[in-house]
Structure 1
Amino acid sequence: MPNLTAPAHLPWTAPTAPGPVTATVRLPGSKSMTARALVLGALSLGATTLRAPLRARDTELMAAGLRAMGCHVSTADDNLWLLRPRPLRGPARVDVGGAGTVLRFLPPIAALADGAVVFDGDGRSRTRPMAPLVGALRDLGARVDYGGGLPLTVHGIGRLTGGEVTMDASASSQLVSGLLLAAPEFDRGVVVRHAGPPVPRAPHLRMTVQMLRAAGAGVDDGRPDVWVVEPGRLNGRAWDIEPDLPAAAAFLAAALVTGGTVTVAGWPRSGLQPGGRLLELLRRMGGAPTLTRQGLVMRGTGTVHGITADLADAAELIPVLAALAAVADGPSHLHGVAHLDGHETDRIAALVTALGALGADVTRDHDGLRIRPRPLRGATVATRDDHRLAHAAAVLGLAVDGVRLDDVTCTAKTLPEFPRLWSTMVHGAASFGGQD
């Protein structure tokens, strides 16, 4: 059984690039795909395999949570995980750590278990938005003890009635995805209607729908803000997990900052992740992406352009894009991301503080950041247990001497090998990373 406790804090100085970076990196699997494949496998008939999954703190917590409820999940082979479903049962305790996917995806699964399942997690998880999901589960027939934060207890009776529910999912698309992933096992399936401001990160909802269909579910998402999942049995299957494209953002940004060339091996030509949006944004900021047989090749000129961009559908990219904006040739406005105050930290406030410590001119508006470039200086960045903030600091460290992270272990959330991969890229290895 892996040790799922959070690692001790470890300071780290981001390496400065001596010249243009030229490297090929092989990244581990997508966190989003790995998490969804595990949940779908727990509800399927027959075995499920995950080829090239992400082994990181968040996905290990997901696997451990499913084991606690009775599933057989083997992660002994880094490149091939095996899940065999078993009757879901309690009593059980699930540690969500700081993982939003575990926090939002497993309570609906627990409503199908026979017995009580208690959820608890890190300090930040105790304050992340959960009330809309808890209210929806209660409306669908579940009994949930919830006092406004973790811990919460789901009292399962082995089934859930399901039906129609209206919720405000503007805080996180995971609130909808959690219901949809479990819904084929509800007696009446589910009809989820969103009422409120726009749901952020719509591409992740599309991923949920596509993976449900691939597992045999009947899903109708043809109407805006309405999702219908028919009751029925899912089929175990083999999932080929794509490389984690959000994690690629920092590595591709290195090409722009240094005027170098970075190749991400195995980039999918058509996949479930919103890779096209990332490439569009980096292109606007001065990158030249090309998809080749070897992977996605990003070339930079050493000049970064400022942009105005609505990131409501790509909010996880804002830390790296903000780092690029801080070394751009003009101002940037990154907006549409007010919901980020409910992530691992208040990410917008954290970016204002971190970039400001390095000398950047950054101000917060009602739903994003305005960044006006000026000369930067070395300083210590408080990562606040936020892996994306650590990635952003590393990007700035390429161009600024003395950028120090007070804790780099937060990158274990989605990319445990980040410090090694990053340092190897900067110091000139031609090819490095995980398996082909």
Structure 2
Amino acid sequence: MSQEQGWAAPRAEGPVSGRITVPGSKSISNRALILAAIADGPSHLTGLLAARDTTLMRTALTSLGVAIADTGSTVTVTPGSLKGPASVDCGLAGTVMRFVPPVAALADGVVEFDGDEYARERPMGVILDALRALGVQIEDGGTGRMPYSVSGTGSVRGGTVTLDASGSSQFVSALLLAGARYDEGVDIRHDGKPVPSQPHLDMSVAMLRERGVQVDDSEPNRWVVAPGPIRALDSAIEPDLSNAAPFLAAAVLTGGEVTVTGWPEHTTQPGGQLPEIFTRFGAEASWTPDGLTVRGTGRVTGADLDLSQVGELSPVIAAVAAFADGPSYLRGIAHLRNHETDRLAALENEFNALGGDVTQTADGLEIRPKPLQGGLFATYHDHRMAHAAAVVGLLVDGLLIENIGTTAKTLPAFPELWSGLVS
């Protein structure tokens, strides 16, 4: 079957077993790039992810005057005088469209932002209005979406800002990462429903503290970043644990055993919760000096899960739930409607098109397992949807994945790694 017609998902003929090494975390990589770009000297990053989202981030920062050079497996980031005019292509990367504007505000000149077609539908008003409140000139035609421009004067006043980050933790992280470079620092106050994806906020705070930035997050829904330098830091990037999800899911569904090498002992990544989640489905998880091993037990039990803090894992978890021995409920993920696509609608559409029984709820999905048949599984240009489709294809004959190449967003080698594990 040609790539235009769909990528034939490999069918598991028995228990899937093997060892997988996944490349660096996208979330950590792009945060490390942002912080290195506005640090007080050069930083050397090893294990940095090479994928579409990180390429977009690198290009955005170099367009502002940051020097980024590769030497073998090390990437050296040397801060420069930030200036426009510049144009930033955000692609479909939330970390680029939300993290770069607060940095662009520190540049002297106009920086224009645009991205993929669907990126123009992603809500940006929260971060743009927050920057306006901090003294930054923004032009978005009143839409709160791309395209927009940031007109910098070389500095940002900073200070106190109140926002509603219930739609995405990235709104808070964006201000956290740049806030130390603002004249008054930044005092971020959230007013609204709970902020999702707490691990990503913990990640941002931890990475700032590693670089000597004072962050006070002792009060709920408030983050205070003191003004001051961001120390240059040489660091190694952890493996992307969320990208490990489909490989571990293969063990869960087929009664196999998969080890992901280099699994960190402690992590702020959402994927760090995968062992606990998969054991809720009846699998077993164990740690060795080599990494994390997940074993399927031959039975997949339905589960009732609050995924509010780990929403990006939901597509693969939904794929596992589709083969459980009873209903599953995925809760706390209403914010996924504003991710790379409306992931809740996309999952409902694609599973039901294959004969499944998936229903959206106010804040998630109800999944009642039914026999699935082959067909074309649309990905909506969303790498997590492609991962979910590959997991479904393990147990369904004739499943074709539309645009498997979208996995290049965070894991360009996914098709080869997946075929090598399953075959």
TM-score category by the smaller chain?
Answer: over 0.9
Shift of 1:276: 3.9
Counterpart CA distance in 1 for 2:289 and 2:5 is 38
Alpha-carbon contact 1:9-1:409 (below 8 Å) kept: no
* Distance (Å, rounded) in 2 between the aligned partners of 1:328 and 1:98: 32
Aligned equivalents of 1:239 and 1:350: distance in 2? 37
1:347 is the counterpart of 2:343: yes
Q: Please list every run of 5 or more consecutive structure 1 residues that lacks an aligned counterpart in the other structure.
A: 1-7, 428-436
1:219-298 equivalences under 5 Å are 219-298=215-294
Whether 2:409 is the aligned partner of 1:423: answer no
| Offset of residue 279 of structure 1 | 1.3
Which of the numbers 126, 135, 139 marks the counterpart of 1:145?
139
Does 1:133 pair with 2:123?
no
The 8 Å contact of residues 173 and 202 in structure 1, kept in 2 or not, is answered as yes
**Structure 2 CA distance for aligned equivalents of residues 210 and 29 of structure 1:** 17
TM-score normalised to the size of structure 2? 0.97
- Find the aligned partners of 1:82 and 1:402 in 2 and give their Cα distance: 45
Where does residue 359 of structure 2 map in the other structure? 363
AA aligned to 2:32 is A
What is the deviation of 1:75? 3.7
Q: Does 1:32 align with 2:27?
A: yes
Matched residue type, 1:225: N
Aligned to 1:403: 399
Give CA-to-partner distance per residue, 1:330-378, whole Å, 9 cap, x none.
1001011111111111100000011112211111111111011111111
8 Å CA contact 1:51, 1:239 repeated in 2: yes
Q: What percentage of residue pairs aligned between the two structures are identical?
A: 53
Asked if 1:198 corresponds to 2:180, the answer is no
Rounded Cα–Cα distance in structure 2 between residues aligned with 1:386 and 1:76: 31
Q: Does 1:18 align with 2:13?
A: yes
**TM-aligned CA distance change 1:310 to 1:140, over 3 Å:** same
Q: Is the partner of 1:234 in helix, strand or coil?
A: coil
Contact 1:16-1:399 within 8 A present in 2 as well: yes
Corresponding residue SS for 2:14: coil
Matched, 1:74 2:69: yes
8 A contact 2:197–2:310 mirrored in 1: yes
TM (norm. structure 1) is 0.95
- What's the offset of the Cα at 1:271? 2.1
List per-residue Cα deviations over 1:26-65 (Å, max 9, x = no partner).
Answer: 0000000000000000110111111111100000000000
Alignment check: 8 A CA contact 1:90 1:116 kept: yes
* Contact persistence 1:10–1:409 (CA under 8 A): no
Among 103, 106, 110, the residue aligned to 1:112? 106
With over 3 angstroms needed to count, the CA separation of the structure-2 counterparts of 1:141 and 1:234, relative to structure 1, is same
Deviation of 1:76 (Å): 5.7
Q: Is the 8 A contact 2:271 2:310 kept in 1?
A: no
Q: What do the CA deviations read for 1:168-212 (whole angstroms, capped 9, x no partner)?
A: 111110011001100010000000000011111011001000000
Paired AA for residue 180 in structure 2: P
Q: State the distance in 1 between where 2:70 and 2:356 align.
A: 43
Query: Quick one: distance in 1 between partners of 2:179 and 2:235?
Result: 20
How do residues 383-402 of structure 1 correspond to structure 2 at under 5 angstroms? 383-402=379-398
**Runs of 5+ unmatched residues, structure 2:** none
Residues 252 and 298 in structure 1, CA contact (< 8 A), matched pair in contact too: yes
C-alpha contact 2:86 2:112 (8 A) present in aligned 1: yes
Residues 230, 323 of structure 1: alpha-carbon distance in 2 compared, 3 angstrom cutoff: same
Worse overlay, 114-123 or 274-283: 274-283
Cα 1:47–1:168, aligned 2, differ >3 Å: closer, same or farther? same
Say how many residue pairs are matched: 419
Letter paired with 1:126: R
- AA matched with 1:69: L
1:371 alignment partner, SS class: strand
Equivalent positions of 1:55-66 (< 5 A) are: 55-66=50-61
Instruction: State the secondary structure of the residue aligned to 2:180.
Output: helix
Asked if the contact 2:245–2:271 (Cα under 8 Å) also holds between the matched residues in 1, the reply is no
The answer to whether residue 107 in structure 2 is matched with residue 99 in structure 1 is no
Matches within 5 A, 1:310-349: 310-349=306-345
Inter-CA distance 10–219: structure 2 relative to 1 (3 Å threshold): farther
- What's the RMSD between the two structures over aligned residues? 1.1
Aligned partner of 2:79 among 74, 85, 90: 85
Q: In structure 2, how many angstroms separate the alpha carbons of the residues matched to 1:281 and 1:329?
A: 16
Structure 1 residue 74: deviation in Å? 1.6
Instruction: Note the C-alpha offset of 1:150.
Output: 1.0
- Equivalent residue letter for 2:31: R
Question: Quick one: which amino acid aligns to residue 60 of structure 1?
Answer: T
Alpha-carbon distance, 1:273 to partner? 1.5
> Cα offset for 1:272?
2.8
Aligned to 2:371: 375
